[in-house]
Amino acid sequence: MDLGIRGRRALVCASSKGLGRGCAEALAEAGVDLIMNARSPGPLARAAEEIRAAHGVKVEEVACDVTTEEGRAQLIAAAEGVDILVTNAGGPPPGLWSDWEREDWLAAIEANMLTPIMLMKALMPGMIARGWGRVVNITSQSVRAPIPQLGLSNGARTGLTGFVAGTARQVAPHGVIVNNLLPGIHATDRADALDAAVAAAENITIEEARARRAATIPARRYGTPREFGAMCAFLCSEHAGFIVGQNILLDGGAANLTM
């Protein structure tokens, strides 16, 4: 299917690895020029070069921390005039409700709620002026099916979800389409780190930890960054203009929900 976005320009945050990389790759495959971002310049440069070589699109690299005001200022300057924004950042750490102090909450809210909101605030006016835009926020399955030990993520990302629910409907009349993509368990470095922690705690191999977790998913496997990226690219496509303010769960059926 031709996604109808060849020649458009996208900012994909936190995209040298994992789900962000999957989104960058799928957009590049559709002919979209990219601004890619991550904190570590080395892996970012390698990812950008691989995408240029594979898809022949222009790729600009901005190495910075998207969760800081300075990092966002750098990204916003580089991304002036973009048609597509994909927001992403690392997730907050797990823990227990009674352990988190005000500072932990402020960090989670800054990274996983205010960062995407500030990027939308900066970049959507240009999209509105040009009458076309797409925003995809990478959130989490925890927004629909909260994970007890991820209280910081549940809270901060639910705040973003509430903001998007209203805002997506305010910008849609101007041709700007905003949706959230909710990953369940996907095979990325983050998933490996979680499996390694379980393996160490329970004295089992990482393969065993992974197999146990995969067994809890009706699809009986982890999702892939490629599958995730394909859905992201579709939501950024010409065909997605009637999908407004949705929370799309990609979890292999893990959350047992009717809606």
Binding interface with ligand NAP (CB under 6 A): 14-20, 37-40, 43, 65-67, 88-91, 138, 140-141, 183, 185-186, 188-191
The whole-angstrom separation of Cα 218 and Cα 256 is 10
CB nearer ligand NAP, residue 9 or residue 157: 157
Nearer to ligand NAP, 153 or 237 (CB): 153
Name the minimum Å distance from CB 239 to ligand NAP.
24
Token duo for residue 99: 């352990």
Amino acid identity of residue 197, one-letter, is: A
Burial class (CB in 10 A: 0-12, 13-18, 19+), 70: exposed
DSSP 149-218: GGHHHHHHHHHHHHHHHHHHHHHGGGTEEEEEEEE-SBSSHHHHHHHHHHHHHHT--HHHHHHHHHHTST
Nearer to ligand NAP, 140 or 161 (CB): 140
> Closer CB to ligand NAP, residue 22 or residue 171?
22
- Nearer of residues 67 and 167 to ligand NAP, judged by Cβ: 67
Least distance from ligand NAP to the Cβ atom of residue 257, Å: 16
| Residue with the two structure tokens 């601004």 | 35
Which letter does DSSP use for residue 221 in this model? S
Q: Are 244 and 172 in contact (CB under 8 A)?
A: yes
Q: How far is the CB of 228 from ligand NAP (least distance, A)?
A: 8
Q: How far is the CB of 118 from ligand NAP (least distance, A)?
A: 13
The least distance separating ligand NAP from the CB of residue 14, rounded to whole angstroms, comes to: 3
